[in-house]
Amino acid sequence: MTPTLDTFLAEFGAMLDGRRTAREVESVLGPSPSGTARLGLYATLVKRQQTGAIDEFYAAVRVAAPAGYYEPLRNAYLEAYPPSHWAPARAAEHFPVFLEARKSSIELVELADFAWTRHLVLHAEATDALVVRHYTHAVKRFSNEVERDGRTRGRPEKDAETWLMGRSLLDGNLVMVEPSVAALVTVEVLHSGGWSDELPAIPRGVLLKEAERLIELGLLPPTSRAVLERLVP
Amino acid sequence: MVRGVGIGLRRELMEPLLTTSRRVDWLELITENFAGLTGKPAVMLERFRSRWPLIPHGVGLSVGSAPPRGYLETLTGFIAKVDPPWFSDHLCFSSLGDRTWFDLLPLPRHDETVARVAAHVKTAQDATGRPLLLENITTYAEVPGSEYDEAAFLRRVVASSGAGLLLDLNNLYVNAVNHGLQPEALLEAFPVEHVRQLHLAGFSKDRGLLLDTHSTPVAKPVWQLYERTLKRCGPVPTLIEWDQHIPSLDAVLDEADTARALMDRFA
């Protein structure tokens, strides 16, 4: 008797997830005319696809990890967080948290956080897209060297850095600046919609100049200077 | 109006596309890379939409099982935004419940599957108000439980569902070789009267099998199948599809020019 479609999907899915072997699937569904090995090839292809996507997304983590560390970690991640959303990038979402929970080294956690944050910023609505991140290692430089220059060895140098990251309102590209205190205050005032006496005392003119610079970079809309003028005493 | 030869919109080709002076008739984009996304993808989408007709080509509808949660709503909004004459996905399953595999997985070819696919095609077409084309996928194994061969299954699916056929000639060739069939005979058996779009791509070889990797130029036997198809179907909109080891835009457009020259002979 022909197995129902739902039985087929459940059994085949279990094989793709590694919960059944191809032989076990055949014992329920019947033999594949192409043979057990060919049927089992699908599990290999799916795994290759999923690991490849994580490897590409977190290329810098892969390069910086000690020998023999990355692949078991990535495989454990995919077991703990099997892809469940149709948008491919969502499969990478929990990797930074997973690394932290597994007590991976700080530079690996920071590299993963940088990759995911960059993705979030590029895919966020422009007005919500400003993010401040502090890292203890030079993750931006290292990631660029891996992704653009093909660097395949080494680790990011220890180098404390803070980044203001946003999606340019001018061209949609990622913009990253090392913000001054004045820039951070400017963003905070605009974001919260008001001045707070807990903020560092910075001359109004300096804040307005910072707003102009961030507007030029495409990180703030052109109206921000006028808004800031109203908000800063 | 979508006619002529298009290419796949891929990240590596985006910047060169915006500056090329060479002919590009239309673009096909991967639905999941743009649908429901804001930010940079939305900005890029607008840039390309203002210059070329766009056809969304999905990998996530999973007509053989069921669309993933939220997928159909996102797709519907996206189709309304892009306003294409049709959209496409694959005759396969790619997810089940809360699991997705990002792969085009084979279905048992029997009447229950035909009915399931037809129901999901109807839902998708009703929701979007656009014709859906289904693409024939590559298979590396005949799955248990099939009652029909690939051509007979396709014929039943398009007849029952009302979907058009996106005929991928590379997939047809890969299947023929992997399953020991004659590509020309397989093409003859396909329901080519339902073809609305064609795909041309390249394959790779691994462990004695041809894999549908879109990582190499269109192979000579696939060009020959293309000529045969044009003879039967006329100048059907055709896509040059690359997904891995993507060459320069000029190399992709050289293949598009070759396809266009062949198409012109059968116009």
Q: Where are the domains of chain A?
A: 57-231
User: A131: closest CA among A69, A170, A58, A187?
Assistant: A187
Amino acid at B181: L
User: Could you read off the pLDDT of B2-48 as tens digits, one per residue?
Assistant: 999 999 999 999 999 999 999 999 999 999 999 988 888 888 899 99
Is A41 within 8 Å of B141 (Cβ atoms)?
Answer: yes
| pLDDT for A205 | 94
Query: What's CA A50's distance to the chain center, in Å?
Result: 16
Strand partners, B132: B87
Strand partners, B105: B93
> What's the pTM value of the predicted model, to 2 decimals?
0.91
Q: d(Cα B95, Cα B65) in Å, to the nearest integer? A: 7
User: Could you read off the pLDDT of A54-92 as tens digits, one per residue?
Assistant: 999 999 999 999 999 999 999 999 999 999 999 989 999
* B contacts of A86 (beta carbons < 8 Å): 32, 60, 68, 70-71, 94-95, 100
Q: Which residue of B lies nearest to A128 if distances are taken between CA atoms?
A: B39
Please state the φ and ψ torsions of residue B55, each to the nearest 5 degrees: -120, 115
| pLDDT for A124 | 76
Structure-token pair, residue B51: 């210059």
| Cβ <8 Å between A49 and B101 | yes
Q: d(Cα B71, Cα B35) in Å, to the nearest integer? A: 9
Nearby residues of B133 by Cβ (< 8 Å), 6 or more positions away:
B86, B87, B88, B89, B163, B164, B165, B166, B196, B197
Extended strands (E) in chain B: 5-8, 26-30, 54-57, 87-90, 93-96, 99-105, 132-135, 164-168, 195-201, 204-206, 209-211, 238-241
Choose the mutation target among B31, B43, B45, B110 for the interface with A, i.e. most A CBs under 10 Å.
B43
| Cβ <8 Å between A9 and B145 | no
ipTM of the complex: 0.94
Q: Which residues of A74-110 are buried (b: 16+ CB within 10 A; e: fewer)?
A: beebbeebbbebbbbbebbbebbebbeeeebeebbbb
Tell me the pLDDT of chain A averaged across its residues.
94
Taking 70 as the pLDDT cut, the residues of chain B under it are: none
Structure-token pair, residue A175: 């913009």
Choose the mutation target among A2, A8, A84 for the interface with B, i.e. most B CBs under 10 Å.
A8
Numbered residues of chain B with Cβ closer than 8 Å to any chain A Cβ? 32-33, 36-41, 43-44, 60, 64-65, 68, 70-71, 93-96, 98-103, 105-108, 110, 112-113, 116, 140-145, 147, 179, 209
Specify burial of residue B26 (Cβ count, 10 A radius: 0-12, 13-18, 19+). Answer: buried
The two beta strands, B5-8 and B238-241, are parallel
In this complex, the residue of B93, B112, B141 whose CB is nearest that of residue A4 is B112
Q: What is the DSSP letter of A157?
A: P
| Cβ <8 Å between A85 and B141 | no
Choose the mutation target among B12, B40, B212 for the interface with A, i.e. most A CBs under 10 Å.
B40
Cα end-to-end distance, chain A, whole Å: 81
pLDDT at A126 over 70: no
pLDDT at A26 over 80: yes
Q: How confident is residue A128, by pLDDT bands cut at 50, 70 and 90? A: low
The two beta strands, A158-167 and A174-177, are antiparallel
Extended strands (E) in B127-264: 132-135, 164-168, 195-201, 204-206, 209-211, 238-241
In this complex, the residue of A53, A83, A125 whose CB is nearest that of residue B39 is A125
Amino acid at A229: E
| pLDDT for B135 | 98
Q: d(Cα A112, Cα B105) in Å, to the nearest integer? A: 30
Q: d(Cα A32, Cα A24) in Å, to the nearest integer? A: 12
Give the count of Cβ contacts less than 8 A between chain A and B: 124
In this complex, the residue of B40, B142, B143 whose CB is nearest that of residue A122 is B40
In this complex, the residue of A9, A25, A84 whose CB is nearest that of residue B65 is A9
In this complex, the residue of A2, A33, A34 whose CB is nearest that of residue B147 is A2
CATH of B5-266, picked from 3.40.50.1370, 3.30.70.3040, 3.20.20.150, 3.50.50.60, is 3.20.20.150
Q: Which residue of A lies nearest to B145 if distances are taken between CA atoms?
A: A2
